[in-house]
């Protein structure tokens, strides 16, 4: 069987299903062994049974009864064992999904999506197959083999000894192959990870590939990975087939021995000169030989199963190791022992010498940031690309661990806060405007268990996307498509803003989410923020100074440090960097205006 910390509990959960299935399997195995005996009896006693139809009918009735028992038993073990195996797969998959949601962002920076998806699909299927068909093979390999061997020994111990000679070779061969199969399977899965990840990345970035006319380049790159994948899979298949061929050769040799020597024994016994071994004559009739061949035929499946279970267990062990490594990954971002649950959040945010370095990097993204955002303040954040704007606001969500005593919300240290209550208090409109492949209404009302249509319309009006949505044939029931592919860039941005507004959180963070809209729409959204978010903390990251100049205060970042913090008027007097940003953007407007006039 397959054992490990993450699967042992399922034996306890599904023991009744496994017990019922194993009992049904044993009953089927025992019932099968009676059929060759009855058939051999019919052959040996054909002349007697022709004159005694009642006895013949009784034997045929016993055969039919065995067939009925086998039919019912197989239905029971299929329903029981496969119910357990699918339940185990579902349980492990749910456990993995729960784990995936708890892991921090740093884990997904280091682990590719293709690897994770392969664990959720191929590896779980291997484990499920082992608990399903693997259980059947193990029981048959043990109980059917024993049942058949007992019947064979009862019939003729010397023929049984002769037939069992090759069985030892199968056991030895299986032990040798197990070591190689496990290593080859893990290599096969790793190559499939690479293939899956490459395909996923290309499908996600298909627009970029087509716009740069790089289809052929990507096809050649994919072909290279596919060839490597093919080589590894073919190598694994060859080893598996080679293993099966050896098993088949041993089984054929066994049948040849039985037929060859059995035919000789029958001939000698029929001619009145039976073969004598150790003082015991071998009395084998035609019916007996037919019965013995029937037992050999029954023995073929458990012998094949014995071979296949080695390969299947090797694959399942490799898959379980990969899944266990994922489930054993330490959750680094988690609640403290006695977390403080945020309630009635006012929206005060304080940074105290806040420094943050992303995992795996040497230089800090933010360095010694110290500032206080008062409750209900509307704050703008500007700076060059890579200055740390997104990092500053992302720190509010506890996506990463931070230094204790460096960031506070309503006076409570972020490292002491209950993470769920913290994230519930903050609404977020991200820079990448990710939308789910769902109705627009469900995307906007994502924070709610059940959408309220009036609130959805209000949020759409806040983001100035109401007219666009209502202009679609299905309105709010329009499916946005994967990642919002059916919407324009500006529409996705505004739906993302509406989703954040719908949450009605005391703190709203908007990460450069008005960059894809026109000036008129931007002004309307900013006006709505000023009016409808009055008295609630709002942080707006923008690439244009004009987007934040009417905010209460503006944070100016440069190379991970706060170089200025104040109102637009104050910064125009005291911050050379802010003055330069304003000057460059005004100059850009003049150049654009001149081009339009010249055009």
* pLDDT attached to residue 143: 85
Distance between CA atoms of 565 and 574, rounded to whole angstroms? 10
* Between 572 and 45, the higher pLDDT residue: 572
HSE of 438, CA atoms in CB hemisphere, 13 A: 11
Residue 196 tokens read as 């899956």
* pLDDT attached to residue 176: 67
Would you give the distance in Å from CA 320 to the centre of its chain? Answer: 13
**Mean pLDDT throughout 577-591?**
77
Q: Are the C-beta atoms of 364 and 357 separated by less than 8 Å?
A: yes
Q: What distances in angstroms separate CA 527 from CA 342, 457, 548, 582, one per listed residue?
A: 29, 18, 11, 21
For residue 304, pLDDT over 60 is answered with: yes
* pLDDT attached to residue 230: 86
Domain boundaries 433-504, CATH class: alpha beta
**Mean pLDDT throughout 461-467?**
88
For 8-327, CATH number? 1.20.1560.10
Please state which of the ranges 221-230, 279-288, 588-597 shows the lowest mean pLDDT: 588-597
pLDDT digits (tens, 9 = 90+) for 22-32: 999 999 988 88
What is the sign, positive or negative, of the torsion defined by CA atoms of 98, 99, 100, 103?
A: positive
Return the number of other C-beta atoms located less than 10 Å from residue 323's C-beta: 24
Give the CA-trace dihedral at 218, 223, 228, 234, to 10 degrees.
150
pLDDT digits (tens, 9 = 90+) for 418-457: 988 998 999 998 877 778 878 888 888 888 888 888 998 9
Distance between CA atoms of 526 and 271, rounded to whole angstroms? 108
Q: Are the C-beta atoms of 245 and 311 separated by less than 8 Å?
A: no
Distance between CA atoms of 155 and 288, rounded to whole angstroms? 7
pLDDT bracket for residue 350 (50, 70, 90): very high
Residue 439 is classified by DSSP as: B
Domain boundaries, the chain: 8-327, 342-425+510-518+537-599, 433-504
Residue written as token pair 């200055």: 387
Residues 6 or more apart from 116 whose CB is under 8 A from it? Answer: 100, 326
Q: What percentage of residues in the chain have a pLDDT greater than 90?
A: 15
* pLDDT attached to residue 202: 82
pTM: predicted TM-score of the whole model, two decimal places? 0.72
Please state which of the four CATH numbers 2.40.50.180, 3.30.390.10, 3.40.50.300, 1.10.10.10 is assigned to the domain occupying 342-425+510-518+537-599. 3.40.50.300
Angle at 62 between CA 61 and CA 68, to 5 degrees: 90
Same CATH topology for 342-425+510-518+537-599 and 433-504: the answer is yes
**Mean pLDDT throughout 518-529?**
85
* pLDDT attached to residue 113: 74
Distance between CA atoms of 44 and 50, rounded to whole angstroms? 12
Distance between CA atoms of 289 and 265, rounded to whole angstroms? 9
Return the number of other C-beta atoms located less than 10 Å from residue 107's C-beta: 19
pLDDT digits (tens, 9 = 90+) for 379-392: 999 888 888 888 88
Q: Which of 277-286, 472-481, 560-569 has the highest mean pLDDT?
A: 560-569
349-356, strands of its sheet edge to edge: 366-373, 349-356, 407-409, 412-413
Distance between CA atoms of 322 and 327, rounded to whole angstroms? 9
pLDDT digits (tens, 9 = 90+) for 353-365: 999 988 778 888 8
What is the sign, positive or negative, of the torsion defined by CA atoms of 196, 198, 203, 204?
A: positive
Q: Which of 177, 159, 173 is nearest to 254 (CA)?
A: 159
* pLDDT attached to residue 596: 45
* pLDDT attached to residue 18: 92
Q: List the beta bridge partners of residue 351.
A: 371, 407
For residue 598, pLDDT over 50 is answered with: no
Give the CA-trace dihedral at 185, 191, 194, 198, to 10 degrees.
-120
Q: At residue 302, what are phi and psi to the nearest 5 degrees? A: -65, -30
Q: Provide the pairing of β-strand 349-356 with 366-373.
A: antiparallel
Please state which of the ranges 111-115, 341-345, 402-406 shows the lowest mean pLDDT: 111-115
Q: At residue 446, what are phi and psi to the nearest 5 degrees? A: -60, -30
Distance between CA atoms of 336 and 407, rounded to whole angstroms? 15
Distance between CA atoms of 10 and 323, rounded to whole angstroms? 15
* pLDDT attached to residue 175: 63
pLDDT digits (tens, 9 = 90+) for 224-252: 888 888 888 888 888 778 877 877 787 78
Angle at 242 between CA 309 and CA 238, to 5 degrees: 100
* pLDDT attached to residue 204: 72
Q: Provide the pairing of β-strand 507-511 with 366-373.
A: unpaired
3-class state of residue 370 by DSSP? strand
């Amino acid at each position: 069987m397959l054992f490990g910390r993450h699967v042992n509990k399922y034996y306890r959960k599904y023991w009744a299903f496994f017990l019922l299935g194993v009992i049904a399997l044993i009953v089927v195995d025992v019932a099968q062994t009676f059929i060759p005996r009855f058939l051999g009896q019919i052959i040996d006693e054909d002349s007697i049974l022709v004159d005694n139809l009642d006895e013949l009918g009784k034997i045929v009735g016993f055969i039919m009864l065995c067939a009925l028992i086998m039919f019912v038993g197989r239905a029971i073990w299929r329903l029981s064992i496969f119910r357990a195996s699918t339940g185990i797969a579902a349980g492990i998959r749910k456990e993995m999904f729960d784990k995936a949601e708890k892991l921090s962002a740093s884990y997904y920076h280091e682990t590719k999506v293709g690897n994770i998806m392969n664990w959720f699909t191929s590896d779980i299927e291997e484990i499920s197959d082992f608990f399903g068909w693997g259980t059947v093979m193990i029981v048959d390999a043990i109980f059917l083999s024993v049942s058949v061997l007992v019947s064979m020994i009862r019939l003729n111990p010397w023929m049984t000894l002769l037939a069992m000679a090759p069985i030892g070779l199968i056991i030895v061969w299986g032990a040798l192959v197990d070591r190689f199969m496990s290593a080859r399977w893990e290599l096969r899965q790793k190559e499939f990870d690479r293939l899956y990840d490459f395909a996923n990345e290309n499908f996600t970035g298909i627009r970029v590939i087509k716009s740069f006319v790089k289809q052929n380049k990507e096809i050649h790159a994919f072909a290279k990975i596919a060839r490597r994948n093919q080589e590894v899979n073919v190598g694994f298949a060859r080893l598996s087939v080679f293993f099966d061929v050896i098993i088949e050769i041993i089984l054929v040799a066994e049948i040849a021995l039985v037929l060859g020597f059995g035919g000789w024994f029958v001939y000698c016994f029929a001619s009145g000169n039976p073969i004598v071994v150790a003082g015991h004559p071998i009395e084998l009739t035609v019916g007996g030989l037919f019965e013995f061949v029937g037992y050999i035929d029954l023995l073929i499946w458990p012998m094949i199963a014995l071979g296949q279970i080695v390969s299947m267990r090797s694959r399942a062990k490799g898959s379980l190791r990969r899944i266990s490594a994922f489930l054993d990954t330490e959750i680094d971002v988690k609640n403290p022992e006695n977390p403080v649950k945020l309630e009635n959040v006012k929206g005060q945010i304080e940074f105290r010498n806040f420094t943050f370095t992303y995992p795996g990097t040497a230089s800090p993204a933010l360095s010694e940031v110290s500032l206080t955002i008062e409750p209900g303040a509307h704050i703008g954040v500007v700076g060059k690309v890579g200055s740390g704007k997104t990092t500053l606001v992302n720190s509010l969500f506890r996506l990463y661990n931070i230094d204790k005593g460096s960031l506070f919300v309503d006076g409570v240290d972020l490292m002491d806060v209950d993470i769920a209550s913290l994230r519930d208090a903050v609404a977020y409109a991200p820079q990448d405007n990710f939308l789910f492949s769902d109705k627009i209404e469900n995307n906007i009302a994502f924070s709610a268990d059940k959408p309220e249509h009036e609130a959805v319309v209000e949020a759409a009006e806040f983001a100035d996307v109401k007219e666009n949505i209502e202009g679609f044939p299905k309105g709010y029931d329009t499916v946005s498509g994967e990642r919002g592919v059916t919407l324009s860039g500006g529409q996705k941005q505004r739906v993302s803003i509406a989703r954040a507004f719908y949450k009605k959180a005391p703190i709203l963070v908007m990460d450069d989410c008005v960059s894809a809209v026109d000036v008129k729409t931007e002004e309307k959204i900013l006006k709505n923020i000023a009016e409808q978010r009055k008295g609630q903390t709002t942080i707006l990251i923008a690439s244009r100074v004009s987007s934040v100049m009417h905010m209460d205060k503006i944070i100016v970042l440069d190379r991970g440090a706060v170089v200025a913090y104040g109102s637009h008027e104050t910064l125009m007097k005291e911050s050379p960097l802010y003055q330069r940003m304003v000057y460059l953007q005004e100059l850009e407007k003049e150049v654009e205006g001149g081009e339009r006039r010249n055009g």
